[in-house]
Homo-oligomer: A and B are copies of this chain.
Amino acid sequence: MVKPVTLNEKEYLIGVDLGGTNLRVAAISMDGKVLDNIKKSTNLSRGYSDVVDRIRSLINSITRKKSLPPTAVGLAAPGAINTAEMVITSSPNFPEWEKAPLADDVGRGFSFPVYLENDANAAALGESWIGVAKEWNTFAMFTLGTGVGGGIILNGDCWRGPDGMAAEFGHLTIHPNGRLCGCGNSGCLETTASASGVAIRGKELLGKYFLDNQGVAKDEISAELVTNLAKKGNADAKSILDDAGTDLGIAMAHIVLSLGVTKFVIGGGMASAFYLMRSSMRNSALSNSYTLTPKRLKIVEAGLGNEAGVIGAAHTAMIQANKT
């Protein structure tokens, strides 16, 4: 019997998802399937060079198992990315990484090209490639994690803006006199609709409840705990997620009115609360944008989950490699 050509012997891509907590590296087939997947702790505290070395070593451990080098590697990282120069130009969560030539440093000595992309853009590209948005030509993505990221796909292409700084949805001012945000502004979307924002509000509203009833220390109250409590019907927890949804809806209305985009994908860790936020999101998007109708407004939960980053990074690499 003739041995069939195995996946290892085919062309493939590598996607790297560099998050604040986890570093994921995966081999991805040319049609978007995850072939091999490694997850490690990012350990940002060890510094830039250490993270670069670990990414390179994880890429090596994947390519060693293959008979071919990857067609290209895509790195998804938080912050504003200059895709022409392949550097992170601004990254509130990774300040010491600013201006670092991350793609060059990771790619040094490799025979294959390495491309850099903003993580939320990568997630949007992933969803448009093989996820929930594959039938959509134009949409926006919110990634609800530690912060709130965004990606915009216009006519099938990722719109990054003239300086790679587009789709910073997390810092849209929703409440002009609201809570102080890490960026220095007040009332940014991130203060209420990110996992950190939900956790902070959880500590305020639910701290007593947890201490009294569940033996959970106030400091341990996370967005996940708030979500679980809301699923069980706790009114305070539900109101926190309702408010997050309302603020996401206002941000969507801004995007509807500015860009005319009416289709949205919600991803990131907080997407587990999607169905708890959906109704307030829709209501507030509709009431804050007169051009919008219920029929035109589409809001769906991301389909790629934790793999969105590596798949999107691989897709970015495929697109960039085809351009050059």
Q: Which residues of A contact B (CB under 8 A)?
A: 80, 90, 92, 137-138, 150, 152, 154, 159-169, 171-176, 183-185, 250, 253-262, 287-291, 296
What separation, in Å, do the CA atoms of A183 and B173 have in the docked complex? 21
Given contacts A154-B159, A163-B260, A258-B166, contact A289 B176 (CB under 8 A): no
A159, A185, A259: which has the most chain B beta carbons within 10 Å?
Answer: A259
Interchain CA distance A173-B175 in the complex, whole Å: 10
Copies of this chain in the oligomer: 2
Contact (Cβ within 8 A) A138 B162: yes
Residues of chain B lying within 8 A (CB to CB) of residue A255 = 258
Q: Which residues of B contact A167 (CB under 8 A)?
A: 257-258, 260
Asked if residues A258 and B260 are in contact (CB atoms below 8 Å), the reply is: no
Where chain A touches its partner, the secondary structure class is loop
Using Cβ atoms and an 8 Å threshold, which residues of chain B touch A154?
154, 159
Picked from B162, B254, B262, B288, the residue with its CB within 8 Å of the CB of A162 is B262
Of the A-B pairs whose beta carbons lie under 8 Å apart in the complex, a sample of 24, sorted by A's number, is: A80-B291, A90-B291, A137-B162, A154-B154, A154-B159, A159-B259, A161-B260, A161-B261, A163-B260, A163-B262, A165-B256, A165-B291, A166-B258, A168-B258, A169-B258, A171-B289, A171-B291, A172-B257, A173-B254, A175-B176, A176-B250, A184-B290, A185-B289, A258-B258
- Whether A161 and B259, one on each chain, are in contact in the complex, defined by CB atoms closer than 8 angstroms, is yes
- 5 closest Cβ contacts across the A-B interface? A161-B260, A166-B260, A183-B290, A165-B291, A168-B257
Within the assembled complex, what's the spacing in Å between the Cα atoms of A291 and B163?
10
A296 to B260, CA, bound (A): 25
